[in-house]
Amino acid sequence: MDAFSDPRFAQIFGISGNVVSFMVYLAPVPTFYRIIKKKSTEGFQSIPYSVALFSSMLLLYYAFLKTNVFMLVTINTIGCVIESIYLIIYLIYAPKSAKVFTIKLLLLFNSGAYGLIVVITYVLSKGDMRVTIVGWICAVFSVCVFAAPLSIIRLVIKTKSVEYMPFTLSLALTVSAFMWGFYGLALGDYFVATPNVLGILFGFTQMILYYFYKNKSQVILWDEKLKESNNGIQMSKTEKQENCVVDLNQPDQVNAINVKNNNPIIVPSGELNV
């Protein structure tokens, strides 16, 4: 580990981590552009953005206590601003029920829980002990966040489809975890390094699953489209057969079919001899 215990390594990985994490923060921009354009949240939930904001707030608090971790301060300040903008847009366009839920979530989780952590750590600890306690809180929360994709991994294995696991986002999160993991190692800060090492493992797992199941997903999708096409053909045939069933003793039906088929010929009822 001594090979990485160099301030230059910390700076390189810190800057790289800032760039990659900034790109990850911008990933939901198309979603919110769509929300603004359609003036509707369309069933999207606010929980991921609330959690991301809480994570940035915690790490920012830890960075101020730790000192000499400027790279953590910059990216988590940016994260707080971007996630706050997302949540404001969400609140503007969300339906009443979702809006009420989001406000409650922000008050109880982002304000209440965060405020409680700050107050308790200031009252019950000081100095290095305070840094250690907040570091543990950040590490545990980060592990929980990194473990969240496990449900997606299970879904991919169950459905044999990578539809719900975009490769680009998985790759970006893995690279981000890689940069911050080595940033933590370079600083000797295991509260930063450990969760990101787990993030790297989860990220590689997702990418391996993606390459394993991506071709199967295409086969499944093709089969579904083929079934839909066959069903459409069957329905079309059935409709045609139904349209051809006509009582020839009822001239109104014959005339109606001729009109429907753009046939200008109207057969007189007297010529229908069967």
Own/partner long-range contacts of 134-141 (Cβ < 8 Å, ≥24 apart): 134/58, 134/61, 134/62, 134/65, 135/62, 135/66, 135/189, 135/191, 136/191, 137/58, 138/58, 138/59, 138/62, 138/191, 138/195, 139/190, 139/191, 139/194, 139/195, 141/54, 141/55, 141/58
Residues in the chain: 274
Cα→Cα distances 143→10, 56, 125, Å: 22, 14, 24
- Quick one: residue 191, left, alpha or beta (phi over 0 = left, psi -120 to 50 = alpha)? alpha
pLDDT digits (tens, 9 = 90+) for 143-198: 988 877 777 788 888 888 877 677 888 888 899 999 999 999 999 999 999 999 99
Inter-residue contact 146 to 192 (CB < 8 Å): no
- Boundaries of every domain in the chain: 2-221, 223-271
Percent helix, strand, coil in the chain (nearest 5)? Answer: 80, 0, 20
Inter-residue contact 184 to 15 (CB < 8 Å): no
> What is the C-alpha separation between 78 and 60, in angstroms, rounded?
10
> What is the C-alpha separation between 42 and 30, in angstroms, rounded?
13
CA 53 to chain centre: 15
pLDDT digits (tens, 9 = 90+) for 12-71: 999 999 999 999 999 999 989 999 999 999 888 899 999 999 999 999 999 999 988 999
pLDDT digits (tens, 9 = 90+) for 94-104: 999 999 999 99
Provide the pLDDT for residue 3.
55
pLDDT digits (tens, 9 = 90+) for 22-33: 999 999 999 899
pLDDT surpasses 80 at 268: no
| CA nearest to 95, candidates 51, 39, 55 | 39
pLDDT surpasses 50 at 90: yes
CA 192 to chain centre: 23
When computed from its CA atoms, the radius of gyration of the chain, rounded to whole angstroms, is 30
Inter-residue contact 177 to 200 (CB < 8 Å): yes
Question: Which three-class secondary structure state does DSSP give residue 41?
Answer: coil
Other CB atoms within 10 Å distance of the CB of residue 258? 14
Average per-residue pLDDT in the chain?
81
Angle, CA 67 vertex, CA 61 and CA 69 arms, to 5°: 90
CA 7 to chain centre: 34
Provide the pLDDT for residue 234.
53
